[in-house]
Amino acid sequence: MIVPGPCERCPRPPRPITLPRSLPIKSIKIDTKISSQVATTHVEQIFRNDTDATLEGTYLFPIPEQASITEFAIWDGDRRLVGEVRSREEARRIYDEIVRRQRDPGLLEYAGKDLFQASIFPIPPHSDKKLELTYSQVLRAESGTVAYRYPLGTGRQVTQIGTVSGRIELDSKEPLRNIYSPTHAVEVKRSGDRRSVVTFESGARPAGLSTVLRASREDFGVTLLTHREPGKDGYYLLMISPKDEWAEQEYTAKDIVFVLDTSGSMAEAGKMEKARAALLYGIRILRPQDRFNVVSFAGEERLMESRMITADDQGRKRGEEFAQSLRSVGGTNINQALLVRHAAV
């Protein structure tokens, strides 16, 4: 955030102005590269001064524990001015000298535990102010799970934030199994089993962005996340992800029962066609040694076959024909569908 203050050395505005507690942020762009446990984060923030006055501001950024800043830059129009990281005392002395010359200092100084500050001047009226910050950190690994977090907000101070978007590039020595964000809807694109790119774009969330990843040479990566507040029941999230590539001899025959809701509500917004497409996909990727059955449930339950059938060419064709015949009618009876599913195995 930028906490604004009046510029003592600038011409006073024609009338008194009310300063916001912090300048609103138009946008935040995050570009992070994580190699094993080392994360390098580049942040671009655009602040807005909607007042009639030229302001001085104190930029505050909650640096993650044990992180170090590698670069800080302030944009003055089309010019990118790279700041210098100094001690607090030296930064203050240089800042005062530069402000007297009406130049943008862009000095970053340590302000306290896990918090850095920069003196920003000038911030012209009715204008944007773009800042860039790059820092590196070693992420903590617990039981093979590595968590990355980008903070939003400082303490209890609430800053108006526009859009937040980002890109996280993952490069691991071990195969990446689980990639998950508990705070944002993310898109994950894999490039092999050791490289992935996570992207997101959304409105801001005060809790910040969190991403959890698990690397493992095992056939299945298992990640267990737990949470419990004092005096309350806890909960957990268990993620199990197989490796991407399997040798032919590693596959084992499986029995699968597909259960599909065909009630009247599935006719809305093309839900039935999407469900049918998912069912057809599931049937078509079965292997000849697999067995399967299909249960549709609405007012009445309908079983494709009275027993499991082999997923050979003839069996998959039978499954596709059954899927194409399904229509969305009747009510919903989940309990009866589960009982029928048990009988279908």
Q: How does strand 141-142 pair with strand 176-180?
A: unpaired
With CA atoms as reference, report the closest residue to 298 among 257, 340, 256, 269: 340
Of residues 119, 63, 113, 55, the one with CA closest to residue 91: 119
The CATH architecture to which 252-344 belongs is 3-Layer(aba) Sandwich (3.40)
Alpha carbon separation from 44 to 28, 71, 97 (Å, rounded) = 6, 12, 27
Q: Is the pLDDT of residue 40 over 90?
A: yes
Look up the CATH number of domain 2-215: 2.60.40.1730
Euclidean distance between CA atoms 75 and 298, whole angstroms: 61
Can you give the residue ranges of every domain in the chain?
A: 2-215, 252-344
DSSP bridge partners of 189: 197
Could you read off the pLDDT of 182-198 as tens digits, one per residue?
788 888 898 887 889 99
* Residue 208 parent element (H or E): none
The reply to whether 2-215 and 252-344 are identical in fold is: no
* HSE-CB for 223 with a 13 A CA cutoff: 23
Q: How many residues does the chain have?
A: 345
Q: Which amino acid is at 174?
A: E
What value, to the nearest 5°, has the Cα angle with vertex 85 and ends 79 and 90? 110
The reply to whether the predicted model has a pTM over 0.75 is no
At residue 337, the pLDDT reads 46
The string of pLDDT tens digits covering residues 243-270 is: 666 666 667 889 999 988 888 778 777 8
Sign of CA dihedral 11, 14, 16, 21: negative
Strands 115-123 and 127-138, sheet pairing? unpaired
Q: At what angle do helices 313-325 and 271-284 cross, to 10 degrees?
A: 170
